[in-house]
Amino acid sequence: MDVGPVLDTWRQVLTVDFPRYFLTAAAFYLLIVFAIPMHPLALRLLLVHMIVRNVVGHLGFEIWSAGFARHPSTRWHLTPTHHDLHHRFGKGNYGLCFSFWDDWIGTSRSDCTATYDAVHRAQTRQRVVTGEVQP
C-alpha cells in the first residue's frame, strides 16, 4: 500500500489547513462564548460536536449509509464525500456541518450526490472483493 498520498495529505493539513481552521473555529467559539449565554457544559458539548464533525469530514472514506445523502431528514448533513469534493476542487462545498448553507449561497457542487453514490458503489465492491459482505 502506497502511503505517500496519505502523508502528503496530513502534511497539508498540519502545516496549512489546521492553523487556518483552528483560528476560524476559535473565533467561532469565542463569538458564541461572548454573544450567547450558555452553561459551560453546553459549550464543551458544542466543542466536542465541532471536533467530531471535523474528524468525520476529513476521514477520506464514507461512513454513512447509501441513502443518507438522499433521505429528506439527513440529506442536509454533510458527508465525508461532500467535504472531499471541496478539497479536491478547492471551489464549492464550503459548509462545515450542514449543506443548506451551500445551497443557500449557491456554492454547492452539482455533482455531490452522484459522487456520493459512486463512492458507495465502490466501497460496496471493495467489501465484496475482500469478503466482508456477500454479493
Residues 6+ apart with CB under 8 A from 47: 29
Cα–Cα distance for residue pair 58/85, rounded to 1 Å: 11
Report pLDDT for 71.
87
Q: What pLDDT digit, counting tens, does each position of 10-30 carry?
A: 566 556 555 666 666 667 777
Asked if the model's pLDDT at residue 84 lies above 80, the reply is yes
Cα–Cα distance for residue pair 99/108, rounded to 1 Å: 7
pTM above 0.85, yes or no: no
Q: Which residue has the higher pLDDT, 71 or 128?
A: 71
